[in-house]
Structures are given as C-alpha cells and as structure tokens.
Structure 1
Amino acid sequence: MSRFQHFFSTWEGVAGLALLVILLLAGLLAPVISPGDPLRIAGRALLAPFSEPAFPLGTDRLGRDVLAGLLYGARTSLVVGLAAALSAMVLGVCVGMAAGFAGGVVDEALMRVVDAFQIVPAFLLALAFVSTIGVSTPVVVLAIALGSWADPARLTRAQVLAIREQDYVASAKVIGMHPVEIAVREVLPNALPPVLALSATIVAGAILTEAALSFLGLGNPNIATWGSMIAEGRSVLRSASYLSVIPGAALAVTVLGVHLFSEGLGKALAENGVRAV
C-alpha cells in the first residue's frame, strides 16, 4: 500500500485534511461570500450573531462584519503559516544537508548556530524581530521562519548522517558522482520524508505565532487577522464575548486540523518504514 493510501486509511489524516480543505475554501471564496474590504464599516455596531440576515455572525464595536473578518482572517493565517513554514523548511533542510554531508568543521560551526537559535524561544525571537524591523506581512513571515528553522535543520542532519553511510551512497561515490549530485539525487529524497512530517507542526506553530503577534498589535494592521479580532473583543468580553470566541474557535479548529493532518502523515510514513516525528 502506498503512503497516499495509508494516509487516507487513518481517521486523523482524513479529518485533518477535511478541516484544512474547509479552511482553504473559506479563504479562497472570501471575496465571493463577502465582497469588499473586510475592515470597512458595514452596519450598526455590536449586532449579535444571527440577529440580522445580512450579518450572520454579527458586527464588532465599529460595525465591521465578523463573518468577513473570519473569512479573510483564514486567508491571512494560511498565507502566513504556509509561507513561514516553507521558508523555515527550505532554510533548515539546506543547513542540515550541508552540516550532515560536509561533516567536520562545517558541521560543528553550523550546529552551533542551530544551538544558538534553539536557545531563544521562537515567539520571543519573532517578537523582537518584528518590534525592531517593523510591521508588515513579509517581516512577520521572516520572523516566524527564523524561530522555526532549527528543528528541521537538526532532523535533516540526523537523517543525512545515517543515509550517507548506506551502500548506494558509497556506490555513487565510486562511480564518480559529484558530491552535490549525490546530496541532491541520492541523499535528499530519502532524508526528506521525516522532515515533511515535521512541517505540519511548524505550520501550526506559525499560525499561532502570527495570531499572538496580531493580538499584541504587531501584525499587519491593513489586513484582517484572527489575532486582531480576538484583541478587538477584549474590551467588551462580558457584553459581546462572541467577538473573541468566534475567531478563537476558528484558530483552535485550524490548529486541530493541522495536528490531525500531521498525525495521519506520520502514521502513513511509519507504515512505509519511515520513522515519523
């Protein structure tokens, strides 16, 4: 049975994928379901959910549509989470490949850099970076990636150290393949699957970090985010708790979906003889 079939044979993988597909569709169809600027004033302030058909989830203190913010916030979470995870994975895999394949002084130097980044909590690093550089979506993505690349680097290095001793790698050296060609064609494809299983966890962490930065006012103020929506509802938490509960629930469901997807992927890789993380 292929990894693809194993993935769909796990309830975690199917449930996680279903939740992520719903989230993806919500983000893609946001302009269709709720056209216009989600930050515009659309109606009376503090309309309760289901009190008016035009605003199914109500409005906030400024009269902005909560449903519109929720849909466009899904787009923001996906874009930031995937972009940050991709950046962290690319950087981590490159550093891990270089360290594991080169060995010696290069390995020691790169691993000390990895250790330095792992000492600092990822959120504090992102917070300091955004506070210093400025607030924008690319800066937030880069800040989250800088706090997330060390784990993929260390895992990739461990995989490379094990794989480079295999017979097929030695055979490639004997026939005169260039070290870079060996790394790309022989080592990387076999080292990548366990690292890909880790990517789902990085996406979940990136989504939570982006929400936390937005909650603290360090997200992009020109786009709708779940973190800023939760922060907006703090001052009226007793009288209009839905303003924080709805985006908070969306954030929890998203992270749950990513976690279940990761569990399904890990089981699929384990069933095919690849050690999952």
Structure 2
Amino acid sequence: MSTSVAPAGPRALARRRRWRSAKRFWQRYRAHRAGITGLAALVLFAVTALAAPLIVGSDITSVTDAPGAPLEAPSGQFPLGTDRFGRNLLALVIWGARVSLLVGLLAAVLSVAIGAVVGITAGHFRGVYATVLMRVTDWFLVMPTLVLAIALATVMSRSLGTVILAIGVTSWPTTARLVRAQTLAVESRPYIERAKALGGGHWHVMTRHVLPNVMPLILAQTTLMVSSSILSEATLAFLGLGDPTVVSWGGLLQDAREAGAVSAGDWWYLVPPGVAIALVALSFTLCGRAVESALNPRLGASR
C-alpha cells in the first residue's frame, strides 16, 4: 500500500528557501576568520553592555557618591584608575558601551533607511524626480558630513535623539548612490518587464522584486555604517555636543580633555575609552567585510 506525501504549500517552500539561503550565508561567513573574530568581539561588547547594570550597578554614574579620589592611577581597587570626579573608570567604560552602541546602531539604521528609500525610488521612477533626488544627494556628498552633523547638533537640544538624528540625516548619500546603482541593474532584468506587463504597480515592483535584490547590499552597508556612526558619536561628544547627562565613550574623552589629562599625563583617562571605540569600530568593519563577501561570493573570490 503506497502513501503519497502532500505537496508543500507556498509558505512552506518560501520558509525552506529562506532557511537554505541563511545556511549558505553562514557557511560562507564562517570561512572568513576575520569576520568570526569581529562577530565574537561584538557579541562580547553587546553582552557586556546589556549586563552593565548587573556588573557595575546603576549608580556608577553619580558624581556625589564617587568611591575614589579624583584622577587616581590604576590600582587593585580601580584597575583603570578614576576620573576627575573619583568614579571608577572601568565601570564607566563598561556603562558607556550602552550609549555608544545604541547611538551607533540607531544612527546607522536611520542613515541606511534614508539612503535605501532614496536610492530605490530614484532608480525606479527616473525622470525629474530622480534628477532632483540625485542633485540633493550630490550636495550632501560634497559637504563634509561632520560639519553638517555639528551644525545640526548645535541648533538642536543636546540629547541622544539629536545626536542620532544629526548622524543619520547627514551620512546617507553614499548608501543612496550604491542602492540606486543596484536598483538600475535590477530594473533592467527581463522579469521586471514581465511583472510590469502582468499589472504589477510601482509598490509591487519595488517591494517584491527590487528590495529583495538590494537587501544584501543594504545589510552590508549597515554593518559598515555602524562603525562610522560610533566614531561620529564619539566626535560629537568630544566636541561637547552630546548629552551631558549620559556616559559614553566620547563623553569620557571630553571629560578627560576638560580635566587636562593630556598635559598631566593621566593616560588611564584617555586610553580605555579610545581603545574601546577603536575595537568596536574595527569589529563592525570586519563583520561588514565578511557579510559583503558572503553575500557576494564573486567579490570574495576577487580579493
């Protein structure tokens, strides 16, 4: 007696395809040792940031209950010394990871989202609309991103939302250019013409056909943008344009500058937050390069 297996439905087939694609991506990603190293470092930073209240406590940022004397050198009690208020600098670096990573991630997502929308719509609609968008994009490209972010952060209130907005709305043009070029390549394929001939509207073509094909580029660009966003946040905080009520790595460098740590030789005040910023930026860059190579095997083979 033979038994027949019912054919899988469209949703089940789609889930299987997504699972196979994810499995292939992970296999390619694992081949990049630098990417695995960067991912492990990011996981460590993320776990440390999430567990910061349990590791160092939530009152570590208070300047009235500082446990040590101002600018103490590293010791057994304070492995990284203390800041100008007598707070444990190791605990501040751990706590600052929360703000720096949060701002970097949200600013990168905002920047890539704006760039993706501009790039896809400009590549799809063409004409006057695309020309105007690309001229605006070119204007943002020729203007120094940091100068625009500083100007925007200066005229708005000093808060984390302002920093995220200042970084996000000034760093999207590169993503827009890359996504537009990819959109033009996708729009030239025959199945796009078939979709339009069968009655597919603009929204259907952009979301069902163009977006899935440019998504690998968007994901790779996001990982690369996080590192630059973290550096931009640190720069704005160092210039005194961040939120003074929160602790971040850039804010610690600003405090060290105001305390005269450079001229006084208090290296423990400067090195830990600077090294943390460099390590996180390097980790995201390694992950971004690995993601880019895993999503585009031809790119990895050409390197």
- Structure 2 counterpart of 1:253: 279
Question: Shift of residue 38 of structure 1?
Answer: 3.0
Q: 1: CA distance between counterparts of 2:180 and 2:211?
A: 11
Look up the match of 1:58.
Answer: 81
Residue of structure 2 aligned with 1:110, choices 133, 148, 161: 133
Q: Does 1:79 align with 2:106?
A: no
Conserved? CA contact 2:111–2:168, under 8 Å: yes
Equivalent residues of 1:231, 1:244 under 8 A apart:
no
- Tell me how far 1:134 sits from its aligned partner: 2.3
1:45 is matched with which residue: 62, 70, 74? 70
The TM-score with structure 1 as length reference comes to 0.94
Please show how residues 24-35 of structure 1 align to structure 2 within 5 Å: 24-35=46-57
Q: 2:30 aligns with which of 5, 8, 11?
A: 8
- CA drift of 1:272 comes to 6.7
Deviation at 1:51, TM superposition (A): 3.1
Which residue in the other structure is 2:269 paired with? 243
Whether the 8 Å CA contact 1:156–1:192 is kept in 2: the answer is no
Aligned residue number for residue 270 of structure 1: 296
Which residue of 2 is the match for residue 162 of structure 1? 185
Task: Show CA shifts across 1:215-271 (max 9, x none).
Answer: 111111011011121122230233421100111111111111111111111211221
Q: Give the secondary-structure state (helix, strand or coil) at the position aligned to 2:167.
A: helix
Structure 2 partner of 1:231: 254
In structure 2, distance between residues paired with 1:50 and 1:246: 15
CA shift for structure 1 position 275: 11
In the TM superposition, what is the alpha-carbon distance from 1:77 to its structure 2 partner? 1.0
Identify the residue that residue 58 of structure 2 maps to in structure 1: 36
Letter in structure 1 aligned against 2:51: L
Q: Which has the larger radius of gyration?
A: 2
2:160 is matched with which residue?
Answer: 137
Counterpart of 2:17? none
CA deviations over 1:7-48 (Å, ceiling 9, x no partner):
111111101101111110111010000112332132222222
Which residue of 1 is the match for residue 228 of structure 2? 205
TM-score using structure 2 length:
0.86
Identity %: 38
Letter of the structure 2 residue corresponding to residue 162 of structure 1: A
The CA distance in 1 between the partners of 2:74 and 2:143, in whole Å, is 42
Q: What does the per-residue CA deviation read over 1:145-170, in whole Å, with 9 as the maximum and x for residues that have no partner?
A: 11111111111111111101111111
Whole-angstrom distance in 2 between the partners of 1:200 and 1:229: 25
Q: CA deviation at 1:50?
A: 3.0
Q: Unpaired runs of 5+ in structure 1?
A: none
Q: How many pairs were matched up?
A: 274
Range 34-43 or range 186-195, more displaced: 34-43
**Structure 1 SS opposite 2:296:** helix
Deviations along 1:53-100, whole A, 9 cap, x unmatched? Answer: xx3322111111112210121111111001001111111111111100
